[in-house]
Amino acid sequence: MASRSLRRWNRANGGCPQIGTIKTHSTQNNALAGLYDLAPEEQREGIMRRLLFRDLNCQPYFMHFVFVALNRAGLFDEFGTAQIRRWTIENDTQSFREMWGNGDYSHAWECTPLFQMSGVILGITPLSPGFHTVSIAPRTCDLAWAKGVVPTPDGRIEVSWTRSNTRFDLKANLPLGSPEELQIPIPLEARKFDGGRQTHCPGELFKDRDNTRERWRA
């Protein structure tokens, strides 16, 4: 698959792959080519920009891979939230539909917006199985604030953040012992905390303990 795709790579057509003799701008082929290293690294950003400037020709079931490809190409901050806003909540069920504007309500990929909001915008991702240790690395995109909860076997991870042109505030409430890495955009670049130890970031990190939880505020 990889060797065939690379043989069919069409640099003259802007890096969009072909299938056989058929020229295609398939969202699926192009996004996966950038995501799984079938396309040259220097082409990833251009590929995704071309897909976005054309209409993305795919249904919600594939959008998870589009988001991951955007992230890998360094474009999630620019385009991620606009794509999330394509989903609309149905008034009768308060849920999403299988496809854009139609279909039923029982497919796993309907959770794609929640996955992106929790794992990228709030930035909560596991560093070990079961979220026993986690990374919190929010992506602010075009948003002024975000907040949410991720349930884990050890308890709830609660994250909220707000930002302005000159300030970024983040609060995180985690099960005791969970945090391992905290990355703070101030206001646009990430500053790192490792295991509660400030490595480089203006300001202070506060940690308050009760019997079961740690509360972090930067």
Tens digits of residue pLDDT in 46-86: 888 888 887 788 898 999 999 999 999 989 999 999 999 99
Give the β-pairing of 179-185 and 134-136: parallel
Compute the distance between CA of residue 13 and CA of residue 46 in angstroms, rounded to an integer. 11
Residue 208 has pLDDT above 60, yes or no: no
30-47: average pLDDT = 86
Q: Is the pLDDT of residue 94 over 50?
A: yes
What per-residue string of b and e applies to 76-100 under the rule 16 or more CB within 10 Å gives b?
Answer: bbebbbebbeeeeeeeeeeebbbee
Report the Cα 145 to chain-centroid distance in Å: 16
Question: pLDDT of 118-145, one tens digit each?
Answer: 999 999 998 888 888 888 889 889 999 9
* Greater model confidence, 11 or 83: 83
d(CA 183, CA 163): 14
> Nearest Cα to 79, choosing from 57, 111, 56?
56
DSSP for residue 150: E
Is the domain spanning 122-218 CATH 3.40.630.10? The answer is: no
Q: In this predicted model, what pLDDT tens digit does every residue of 153-192 receive, in sequence order? A: 988 999 999 988 878 888 888 887 665 666 666 443 344 4
Instruction: Write down the pLDDT at residue 13.
Output: 52
